[in-house]
Structure 1
Amino acid sequence: MQRSLLEVAPGRRLALDDATRAASGTGTPVQLGLDDLGTALHEVTFVVVDLETTGGSPTGSEITEIGAVKVRGGEVLGEFQTLVNPGMAIPPTITVLTGITNAMVIQAPPITEVLPAFLEFAGLDRGSVFVAHNAPFDAGFLRHATERMDLVWPRPPIVDTVKLARRVVTKDEAPNHKLGTLAALFSTSVTPDHRALHDARATVDVLHALLGRLAPVGVTHLEDLATASDPVPHQRRRKSALADGLPHAPGVYQFIGPGGEVLYVGTATDLYRRVRSYFTAAEKRARIGEMLDIATAVRHIPCATVLEAQVRELRLIADLDPPYNRRSRRPDRRPWLRLTDEAYPRLSVVRSLPASLMDQALGPFTSTRAATEALEALQEAVAVRRCNARLPLVPRTGASACALAEMGRCGAPCTGGQDAHAYARVADGVRQALRTDVDHVVTALREKIRALSAQQRYEEAATQRDRLHALLAGARRAERLRPLVTTPEILAARRRDAGGWELVLVRHGRLAGTAVAPRGTDPVLVAESLRVSAEAVPAPDTACGAAPVEESELVATWLERPGVRLVEVVQGEVPLACPVRGAARHHLPARG
């Protein structure tokens, strides 16, 4: 009786045409680890599997035979074949289909003995790719068996040759995508006959024939197979070769148009993998697809750290204004919220703010609309005047109050209803909020929201909620950025996962320089060199004027990462700290 058999046949090579040799191997991974991405197909080990079973469902049927072929670079590394005692009678219809009888499996090993041997042979937990014709069927039976035995299914990348065939074999060539039909089409060396090893060998030949058709359209790496069965236009997939030569390192990439113009700028932690991902079905943006169709080249700028790459991307987008990047048209003109300088000050949205007034203004906001909503939130909570006229200290003769005064929502300093001393107390409540102490505003607006909701005035409640959201967002950004942009110099370090240190030098919220001290290198010497060679950044005249707000926020995010150490700080007027009772402790209400 046939027992478990492992045949290693290192000398046997598969017959491949030239196109297939360039992309030999197989795999349509549905689960890809980062270490697997970017692997050329001829470097990948594939385990082509076929099972025979007593039925179609793993919950009510059992495996009767396992056949597998392990290949890499077109060479057969080994074969695995064994009958399996299913512990149940084989239905006559299955016997007719496979030729496997009850007598043949009576002395065969049970699945509890076979499965560990198969998993060891396959090496699915060591980077091998699982391949089968109608792979969900075979993988489902094996996964179910491992779970019953309290073993761990290794969750390998999976390739389904049926899906690949549907992509490249037309109805004119074959009436269906069954294994026997494809074997006849591609003249495989073995004819499938519903015996596991024979079918696995035939599947290997079918797989390589399919890859031969996919190679000319850019399917040459393991990650390409993840989307090879998706409808990516051939002319776009072929352009994946633009990524060839890019390093597996952080940096900035630029897609170049036919006239040498920069079409798009992006950043990546791994340049090679990121650029190749554009030429798969994972990229679904129509606008970017249009860009890819006209791109002719990719330029890259390698960077020492991810932070440097992110900042370079922002600066390049601002300088080049690529047509396919979406960005703020005036990132240097973000709105602020401040009190006017007059006898009876009022709230005003301004586009520029002197650096000396940063502690008297809220922002910068992401848009004029957000700043206006924050202004309205303050006006709801504090009875500050809303009229735009510049009021004299002494009311004009014959001045009349507005409707808000008649409703009790304004003290009417315009008519003398409120003197300068009384109005100063109101203005102090606004200044308190502009310094990001917004507790009194949050309390007032939340009470208003609750009252409106109780009256089922939900639209008005939502308006107040959005105003509160805008106020808190602006206050949190202000308390986060003020200390950073007013600090002349910050030298910080963070230990790298690969060993060594990542060093960052920040001046007035601008990334002045970054460097890496590799393992075994004295980081103090690297830090001193960084300080000398870094960009000189003078104190700006305007608030957040040394760098775009987006850049300062990137720097702030990096500084807040776990494990970052402040090596040296040249302190500014505002302490480099986050206030305990600041706006950050308030939960931002959800927007509808």
Structure 2
Amino acid sequence: MPAAYQQLALTDAGTPLRDVTFVVLDLETTGGTPDGDGITEIGAVKVRGGEQLGEFHTLVNPNAPIPPYITVLTGITEAMVLPAPRTGEVLPGLLEFLQGAVLVAHNAPFDTGFLKAACNTYGYPWPAPRVLDTAMLARRLLTRDEVPNHKLSTLAAYLRTATQPTHRALDDARATTELLHFLIGRLGSHKVFTLEETAEFVKAVSPAQRRKKHLADGLPDAPGVYIFRDRDNRPLYVGTSSSISTRVRSYFTAAETRKRMSEMIHIAERVEAVTCAHSLEAEVRELRLIAAHKPPYNRRSKYPERVCWLKLTAEAYPRLSIVSTLRPDGATYLGPFGSRRTAEATAAAIHEALPLRQCTLALSVRTTTPACALAELGRCPAPCEHRITPQEYALRAAGPFVAAVAGDPGPVVESLLARIATLAEATRYEEAAQIRTRMAALLRATMRMQRLTAFTTIAELAAARPGPMGGWEIAVVRHGRLVAAGAAAPGTHPRRTLEAMMATAETVIGGAGPTPCASAEESERVLAWLERPDVRLVEASDGWAFPVGAAARFGDLLAKAEAARSAADPLDGR
């Protein structure tokens, strides 16, 4: 049969392992981090096709003291390494020994980290050899039923190697060499015969990932959004990246270990790319696509409509109510909250600080209603029995809440801090911690709402930042919504691009609340972009400012409250 029509054998698809030259390396060190020195001993064994070709061994003066526990572990003393060559003197011979070979080590990142640092320190180019980690390979080939762990000592004992590890470089390198030969034998049972196949096998790339790698072909190397779709064109997952092609390719490598993503890749049939002018547009498009399509494999941002608000009702004796919709009904709203639980915690903080009624009855200013238990306990001013006038109720209860939402939450916060101090003095730490958590929820809510309101009341705003390759990235925002995104090429005046964007930008109409035209998450993404130090505000239709005494002044207090909760200090009662 002519050579052009011969069937290629499996081993012809790469370099057969029997033809590969391996250098099995082990280092002993002073135990520190790689800094160019710290190596105390080097041992290496060169093999090919199961035959030993040579050995390299030397003690090394680490140019640093050897800690006592390292001496106990390895038996290497400072007296032993004092006459030994320094790292810079040893490197040329070692690099020559490594030339043209695949570097093998057990927990290879440790050894290669020291060698790379040494090359950098002493001015030798790192040869960047292919590296094979026997620890990773053993994890793929040996099960827990065979060995309890994958330490070199455990594996050597299991295999009964002729040389057992002793924490001396050459002994450990020889033991690793025997381990390597055993693992190569095991690879055959997995139909792995070449160096290239071994590299893929170690990465633990699933068959589905290998089979679907072509889905990343032809995608643009540009910022934007990518959408994995199934055979029915249904969106499975939406993501964003500064380089669509690079990010999508990563789903088909060992770097992707998420179980749900592996399942998604198995179902996916194609990947759709939507290029964007810059990263901000990509992030916003991602949020909108996720909210619109609810892809099953996205976890966040799927239900922006599932927010709730804390409402102070518009009546003679207002009360707090958790509602799902913000309406222009004259009531005062605080939010949005991502969960009802957070809204309830905020309401509890307000009830702790202000004498707002907690009953749900519709109270009349003409007729009375029997008081509840809270009134009997002194926790409510009993407007139901007209013990307080609507004017006094507004001054003591409703007014401070309105002020906290619109401007200064100081009186509410001070009342909560006083309550926390009283409980702490009485060693009622769990109750104090509970109130502190509620206070933090209140501060987060008021700070977020005031920040969003100050931003979304601006009818139109334009900003720009330098592009990574020159030129300018430009965004036009109306009432907190990104309505146009573009990029001015290097050498092009950005004003022309901006004028064209404004002329064609999406038209929006403002409304009530801190999120009149976009989800809170979108407005916050835009805000985060605007607050970057390299972003320049080009023009704005309105002033951008916070109220005097706004909740933002309690930022340090909020940080301390959250840190105290995380640290489980005595106030947590833990």
TM-score of the superposition, structure 2-length normalised?
0.70
- Aligned partner of residue 247 in structure 1, secondary structure: coil
**Does residue 112 of structure 1 match 2:88?**
yes
Whichever residue aligns with residue 267 of structure 1, its letter is: T
- Aligned partner of residue 491 in structure 2, secondary structure: coil
Report the counterpart of residue 376 of structure 2 in structure 1: 406
- Aligned partner of residue 380 in structure 2, secondary structure: coil
**Does residue 421 of structure 1 match 2:391?**
yes
Report the counterpart of residue 102 of structure 1 in structure 2: none
- Aligned partner of residue 461 in structure 2, secondary structure: strand
Report the counterpart of residue 345 of structure 2 in structure 1: 373
- Aligned partner of residue 337 in structure 1, secondary structure: strand
Whichever residue aligns with residue 334 of structure 2, its letter is: L
1:377 is displaced (CA, Å) by 0.9
Inter-CA distance 315–154: structure 2 relative to 1 (3 Å threshold): farther
Report the counterpart of residue 264 of structure 1 in structure 2: 237
Question: Is the Cα contact below 8 Å between 2:43 and 2:173 reproduced in 1?
Answer: no
**Does residue 546 of structure 1 match 2:546?**
no
Of 377-386 and 267-276, more deviation after overlay is shown by 267-276
2:335 counterpart (327, 343, 363): 363
- Aligned partner of residue 236 in structure 2, secondary structure: strand
Question: Is the Cα contact below 8 Å between 1:380 and 1:445 reproduced in 2?
Answer: yes
Deviation string, structure 1 residues 386-430 (Cα, Å, up to 9, x no partner): 222222223x15x33222222222222222211122112122111
Q: How many residues align?
A: 482
Of 371-380 and 344-353, more deviation after overlay is shown by 344-353
Deviation string, structure 1 residues 34-76 (Cα, Å, up to 9, x no partner): xxxxxxxxxxxxx9984788xx6345854488999xxxxxxxx
Question: Is the Cα contact below 8 Å between 2:413 and 2:439 reproduced in 1?
Answer: yes
1:385 counterpart (343, 352, 357): 357
Whichever residue aligns with residue 449 of structure 2, its letter is: A
Question: Is the Cα contact below 8 Å between 1:250 and 1:309 reproduced in 2?
Answer: yes
Inter-CA distance 532–21: structure 2 relative to 1 (3 Å threshold): farther
How far, CA to CA, are the matches of 1:324 and 1:48 in structure 2? 44
- Aligned partner of residue 512 in structure 1, secondary structure: strand
How far, CA to CA, are the matches of 1:345 and 1:537 in structure 2? 33
Question: Is the Cα contact below 8 Å between 1:265 and 1:316 reproduced in 2?
Answer: yes
1:132 is displaced (CA, Å) by 0.7
**Does residue 472 of structure 1 match 2:443?**
yes
How far, CA to CA, are the matches of 2:129 and 2:534 in structure 1? 34
How far, CA to CA, are the matches of 1:562 and 1:20 in structure 2? 55
Map 1:342-361 → 2, pairs under 5 A: 342-354=315-327, 360-361=332-333
- Aligned partner of residue 57 in structure 1, secondary structure: strand
Whichever residue aligns with residue 425 of structure 1, its letter is: L
Question: Is the Cα contact below 8 Å between 1:352 and 1:543 reproduced in 2?
Answer: no
Deviation string, structure 1 residues 452-483 (Cα, Å, up to 9, x no partner): 34444344333323321221121121011102
Q: Which has the higher helix share?
A: 2
Question: Is the Cα contact below 8 Å between 1:346 and 1:384 reproduced in 2?
Answer: yes
Question: Is the Cα contact below 8 Å between 2:408 and 2:548 reproduced in 1?
Answer: no
How far, CA to CA, are the matches of 1:130 and 1:580 in structure 2? 69
How far, CA to CA, are the matches of 2:109 and 2:551 in structure 1? 56
- Aligned partner of residue 497 in structure 1, secondary structure: coil
**Does residue 513 of structure 1 match 2:484?**
yes
- Aligned partner of residue 470 in structure 1, secondary structure: helix
How far, CA to CA, are the matches of 1:23 and 1:437 in structure 2? 70
2:545 counterpart (561, 565, 577): 577
Of 283-292 and 513-522, more deviation after overlay is shown by 283-292
Report the counterpart of residue 256 of structure 2 in structure 1: 283
Map 1:13-28 → 2, pairs under 5 A: none
How far, CA to CA, are the matches of 1:118 and 1:339 in structure 2? 76
Question: Is the Cα contact below 8 Å between 2:458 and 2:478 reproduced in 1?
Answer: yes
How far, CA to CA, are the matches of 1:270 and 1:391 in structure 2? 60
1:494 counterpart (447, 453, 465): 465
Inter-CA distance 168–453: structure 2 relative to 1 (3 Å threshold): closer
Report the counterpart of residue 162 of structure 1 in structure 2: 134
- Aligned partner of residue 229 in structure 1, secondary structure: helix
How far, CA to CA, are the matches of 1:444 and 1:559 in structure 2? 35
Residue segments in structure 1 that go unaligned for 5+ positions in a row: 1-16, 27-46, 69-80, 89-107, 124-128, 182-193
Report the counterpart of residue 185 of structure 1 in structure 2: none
Question: Is the Cα contact below 8 Å between 1:51 and 1:63 reproduced in 2?
Answer: no
How far, CA to CA, are the matches of 1:556 and 1:328 in structure 2? 17
1:243 counterpart (213, 216, 241): 216
Report the counterpart of residue 274 of structure 2 in structure 1: 301
Inter-CA distance 356–505: structure 2 relative to 1 (3 Å threshold): farther
Of 345-354 and 474-483, more deviation after overlay is shown by 345-354
Report the counterpart of residue 522 of structure 1 in structure 2: 493
TM-score of the superposition, structure 1-length normalised?
0.68
How far, CA to CA, are the matches of 2:173 and 2:290 in structure 1? 59
Report the counterpart of residue 289 of structure 2 in structure 1: 316
Identity across the alignment (%): 40
Aligned CA RMSD, in angstroms, stands at: 4.6
Whichever residue aligns with residue 291 of structure 1, its letter is: M
1:256 is displaced (CA, Å) by 1.4
